[in-house]
Structure 1
Amino acid sequence: MQDVVKVVIADDHPVILFGAEQALLKFPGIQVVARARQSTELIKVLQTAACDVLVTDLAMPGGQYGDGLPLVGYLRRNFPNLPIVVLTMLENAALLQRLRELGVTSVVNKSDDLSHIGLAVQHVSRHLEYLSPSVKASLDALRMNSGGKSDEVMLSRRELEVVRLFVSGMTIKEISEQLNRSIKTISTQKNTAMRKLGIDRDSELFQYAQSNGLLNLSSHSAEDTGDLV
């Protein structure tokens, strides 16, 4: 008899939480054992409930342990043997690549059919990778644009510094004055960072920075992280 895969679901949107659970109910051998709405609830559940696979939203603000990549990093450090399926609406290829670098082998875009959540759980419970169609397409595009070199996504320390200051609310001119670099240099470093990340609009840059935890970095911690993304 096949072992039951015990799943914990975390998402701050009740509709997504309900939809994900209903989608998983259609898969024999998968049992939803607990739900969480933010990271505080999630960590408490994981510390007390038997769980084989975690299905978690990427953007889930309001909890003690944050969300986005910082939360994923915390989970990987404290629950290293727990397979994670990440749910996200983000399609930025560099962010998806960063998730994989953190050890997340399964990512499902919420715009894809919810049945992919169950397929992802089945795969990661067997130590296999699973990417929903939208995610796979984004990563394929990243590989094509960078010639197959994932290191093309890495931001230099100076580019990271400019991005961090820009998303903190500073203008290009203000960043130029603070870092004692020309406006042209700052603008070039910002544009280069956006090109590497596959980002076209400032709004996407803010979204990316939030998911990476860059909005919470001090100037000293930014220097210490080096090529963070």
Structure 2
Amino acid sequence: MLSRSCKYGIVISKIPVMKVGLGDIMERHFPDYELTFFHSSEELTLLQLRRAALVIVDLSGEQRQIRNICEMYYPLLSQYRDIHWVFIISRDIYPLAVEQLMRPGTTLLSDREPVEGVIKAIREGDKNVETISPMLLSSDFLEVKEPAEKLETLTHSERKVLRLLGKGWGINQIATLLKKSNKTISAQKNSAMRRLSLRSNAEMYAWINSAQGVKELNLVSAYGEYAEWKSLPEKNMLPSSRSA
């Protein structure tokens, strides 16, 4: 049984060297933690989750069925809100991680994160806020173009954010409507722009107003026929500012 001064932490990774590295970081900088190591989330028990103050999940080695894996963590994040969840992810799954894993108490780290970044993230975990590593938000991380054969369609959350932007909503309003933080909505907008190879807000709005964007975001049904929508002088007005 844990002593009062000891905390319980869990490390989940399929990569042995990652387990060793994370274990070394915890032993050197957080000696008050007792750690248990697992291969996957399927090995977790309810008793372990109830005891845990920290769960570090390495998703960088996950290549197959990554959406299913993220969806397995989603109910755990909702149920165990007192846990600080730290997910280590690769660039390829960043948009999916933002969509499925972000909530207060969750931290997203890059699989190229320096040791200092990992230590800082764990140390600041008691703030109960959602955090995305600056490395994940850097231009080097976001602007690397995907090979054409790897381009994916927009996720449901990305499409929803772009659709609301196209209807004239602002980031703050979308965050309130979807009950998410401004940071999460901005991250979803940026990940959608990266998928579409759009480098500025001007390019984003031009795409939204294009025939392809209208069709992709199902904006025709919201504004009537495409030609009629294009002729509306106040199409960028906020919904709340329109008369009843």
Please, what TM-score do these two structures have when normalized by structure 1? 0.51
| Mapping 1:183-202, distance limit 5 Å | 196=192, 198-199=194-195
SS of the residue corresponding to residue 116 of structure 1 reads helix
Structure 2 regions of 5+ residues with no counterpart?
144-155, 164-188, 198-244
Q: Distance in 2 between matches of 1:103 and 1:128?
A: 4
Q: Displaced runs of 4+ in structure 1, greater than 6 A?
A: none
Greater Rg over alpha carbons, structure: 2
Is residue 8 of structure 1 aligned with residue 7 of structure 2? no
CA contact (8 A) 1:96 1:135 kept: no
**Residue in 1 that maps onto 2:48:** 48
Percent sequence identity is 11
Is residue 155 of structure 1 aligned with residue 150 of structure 2? no
**Residue in 1 that maps onto 2:33:** 31
Q: Which has the higher contact order (CA 8 A, sep 6+)?
A: 1
CA contact (8 A) 1:6 1:52 kept: yes
SS of the residue corresponding to residue 198 of structure 1 reads helix
- In structure 2, the CA distance between the partners of 1:22 and 1:52, relative to structure 1 (3 Å rule), is same
Counterpart AA for 2:13:
D
Q: Displacement, 1:67?
A: 5.4
**Residue in 2 that maps onto 1:111:** 112
CA deviations over 1:45-103 (Å, ceiling 9, x no partner): x52362111111235669xxx85420220211332322201111235553343256444
CA contact (8 A) 2:56 2:87 kept: yes
Q: Displacement, 1:137?
A: 2.1
- In structure 2, the CA distance between the partners of 1:30 and 1:89, relative to structure 1 (3 Å rule), is farther
CA contact (8 A) 2:104 2:128 kept: no
CA contact (8 A) 1:7 1:31 kept: yes
CA deviations over 1:27-47 (Å, ceiling 9, x no partner): 145424211111211x22x52
Q: Displacement, 1:9?
A: 0.6
| Mapping 1:1-229, distance limit 5 Å | 3-41=5-43, 43-44=44-45, 47-48=47-48, 50-58=51-59, 68-90=69-91, 93-99=94-100, 101-103=102-104, 105-137=106-138, 154-155=158-159, 196=192, 198-199=194-195
The root-mean-square deviation of aligned C-alpha atoms, in Å, is 4.0
Count of residues in correspondence between the two structures: 151
Structure 1 regions of 5+ residues with no counterpart?
143-151, 160-192, 202-229
CA contact (8 A) 1:8 1:54 kept: yes
CA contact (8 A) 2:142 2:194 kept: no
Counterpart AA for 1:155:
R
